[in-house]
Structure 1
Amino acid sequence: MTIQQNRLSDPAVRAFVAAVNSHDRDAFLSLLTPDATMADDGSDRDLTEWIDREIFSSNGHMDVENESNDGRALVAQYRNDTWGEMRTRWQFDVDEDGRISRFETGQA
């Protein structure tokens, strides 16, 4: 069972999922603070390099299964052309302006 992206609770997270699924890199980057950071499986990564490799050059797509923490924590089936499909967790820090300052992902 998946949650339709337009029903996700947090507006920044909803826009993040929409940008990933529509492969809109510019919209994705506009959601982030200028100093945004990210981690994958507990290790900090270079954000620009990671999103290009794991999302935009490999046709990344998220099907959200559930959300918690007021919509700032997700469990999703994530797939891309490199790794196929896997169950993943996502955690977002959103600043007072509604922009994402950090996200963390990894296998669920």
Structure 2
Amino acid sequence: MTIQTAKLSDPAVRAFVAAVNSHDLDGFRALLTPDATMADDGTDRDLEDWVDREIFSSHGHMEVDNESNGGRALIARYSNDTWGEMRTRWSFTVADDGRISRFETGQA
């Protein structure tokens, strides 16, 4: 069963999912610390390149099925124009200022 974005527990993660789903690149960037990092399937990636390719230029969309770790770990059906839909896991590290300093994703 899908969890509505507005009902996600962690404010930073909730804003992340909302920005992805509304294709709000500026809003998305504002959620990340200046030195934010990310990994896909266990391999660190160039954040700007990955976000452009996998989310914004390919119309990424997240449907969250489950959350844990206080809302900082998600299982979601993620879809984009490149790969179609897949079951993915996401984990987030949120800095003291409330912005995301790292996220990791991969197939679940």
Both structures adopt the same fold (TM-score exceeding 0.5): yes
How far did residue 96 of structure 1 move?
0.8
Mapped to 1, the partners of 2:96 and 2:48 lie a distance apart of: 23
Correspondence for 1:88? 88
1:66-89 residue CA offsets vs partner (Å, 9 max, x unmatched): 000000000000000000000000
Mapped to 2, the partners of 1:61 and 1:14 lie a distance apart of: 13
Correspondence for 1:72? 72
SS at match of 1:9: coil
The one-letter code of the counterpart of 1:31 is L
Mapped to 2, the partners of 1:101 and 1:43 lie a distance apart of: 16
Identity of aligned residues (%): 80
The one-letter code of the counterpart of 1:81 is D
SS at match of 1:79: strand
Question: TM-score, length-normalised on structure 2?
Answer: 1.00
Deviating 4+ runs (over 2 angstroms): none
Mapped to 2, the partners of 1:54 and 1:34 lie a distance apart of: 20
How far did residue 6 of structure 1 move?
0.1
SS at match of 1:98: coil
- Aligned residues: CA RMSD: 0.2
In structure 1, stretches of 5+ residues that fail to align are: none
Correspondence for 2:48? 48
Answering whether residue 28 of structure 2 is matched by residue 22 of structure 1, we say no
In structure 2, stretches of 5+ residues that fail to align are: none
1:2-36 residue CA offsets vs partner (Å, 9 max, x unmatched): 00000000000000000000000000000000000
How far did residue 97 of structure 1 move?
0.7
Question: TM-score, length-normalised on structure 1?
Answer: 1.00
